[in-house]
Amino acid sequence: MRLEQLQAFLAVAEMGNFQQAAQQCGVSQSTITRQVQALEASVGLSLFHRQGNVKLTVGGDLLLIHAKKICQIWANAEQELLDLQAGKQTELCVAGIPSACAYQLPPILQIFAQSYPNVQLRVTTLGSDRALKVLKDGLIDIAIVMNNPFLTASSDMVVEPLYKEKIQLLLPINHPLTRKVSLTWKDLHNVPQAVFKDGYGLQRLVQDQFNRQGICLKASLELNSLEAFRGVVKQGSLVALLPETFLVELSNDPNLIVRSLGEPSLTREIVLVTTSDRIQVPPIKYFCKLASQMISQDSSVMLKNAIKTQSF
């Protein structure tokens, strides 16, 4: 049983005439006849009385109900696919790391909403590993995360590099380490720290660096909010290794100090990730292009300002 056979059957049932049904479908009468005959052979029943006026048999009456539903479902599916190709997507779901959601995404969301007012935006703050997993599971359309080649190696993944940034140390103003002229990784051995929760790429990046240096990372507190790091470090007993883009705005806080660590420097790469099928959908393609342009420019300006601020 094929869709075109059901469509031919419905046309004959509606018109009550094979010739008129053929005209309605834009095919020859012989084509309509073959489609109906093939359908009858498939179901094992005659569907029409062919003597005189064409009328449905008992089997034809029964099939008519289901054929209408099947063809309507297909028509709905076709329309939804056409709408998708035309950019008539109902929603767009984005997951991003905390710094991206706090600083880079807001202006992008505003411009996107103006260009696609009928697309509902859904934005979630997630760690990099979790964001990539839900992207693979089809729960979101775009992830803005710290690059992890192990999770983005699939040929289905589309990865767009956005920017790189240093990881720097945030300290309370009266912390003993602030008295040192220069800081090395060895200085952080067994120093109580606030760290990101497991599943955040930055937590893994920092832990790997400590392992390479042969020193102990003393994780006294786990957090998942950049603002929480600010408040906790201000209390005076903990330090935190955080991304440069977040630390830019803290450089003028009299209760906090931002310091760089000696070589080897630690950096992370931020990327935008989607899938090869999603990038073909107009709203998603537009969002990816917009985000790539705006985040790269914005991060470049922020980092230049950070360098200027730290030089004084």
Average pLDDT, the chain: 87
Q: What is the pLDDT of residue 102?
A: 85
Residue 199, pLDDT above cutoff 80: no
Residue 307, pLDDT above cutoff 50: no
Q: What is the mean pLDDT of residues 208-222?
A: 94
What domains are there in the chain, each with its CATH number? 3-85 (1.10.10.10), 90-312 (3.40.190.290)
Q: Cα–Cα distances in Å, from 298 out to 221, 295, 310?
A: 31, 5, 18
pTM as predicted: 0.71
Q: What is the mean pLDDT of residues 150-171?
A: 90
pLDDT tens readout for residues 250-276: 778 899 999 999 889 999 999 999 999
Residue 72, pLDDT above cutoff 90: no
- 183 contact partners, CB below 8 Å, separation of at least 6: 169, 177, 259, 260, 261, 262
pLDDT tens readout for residues 5-48: 888 888 888 888 888 888 888 889 899 889 889 988 988 989 88
Tell me the sheet residues that pair with 261.
183
Spatial separation of the C-alpha atoms in residues 119 and 218, rounded to whole Å:
45
**Could you tell me how far CA 55 lies from the centroid of its own chain?**
54
Q: Please, are residues 22 and 32 in contact by the beta-carbon 8 Å criterion?
A: yes
Instruction: Tell me the pLDDT band of 88, cut-offs 50, 70 and 90.
Output: low
Between 82 and 247, the higher pLDDT residue: 247
Q: What is the mean pLDDT of residues 95-120?
A: 91
CB atoms within 10 A of CB 237: 13
Residue 198, pLDDT above cutoff 70: yes
Tokens read off for 17:
């005439």
Q: What is the pLDDT of residue 288?
A: 94
Instruction: Tell me the pLDDT band of 87, cut-offs 50, 70 and 90.
Output: low
Q: What is the mean pLDDT of residues 196-223?
A: 91
Q: What is the pLDDT of residue 299?
A: 54
When mean pLDDT is compared across 52-56, 85-89, 146-150, 170-174, the lowest value belongs to 85-89
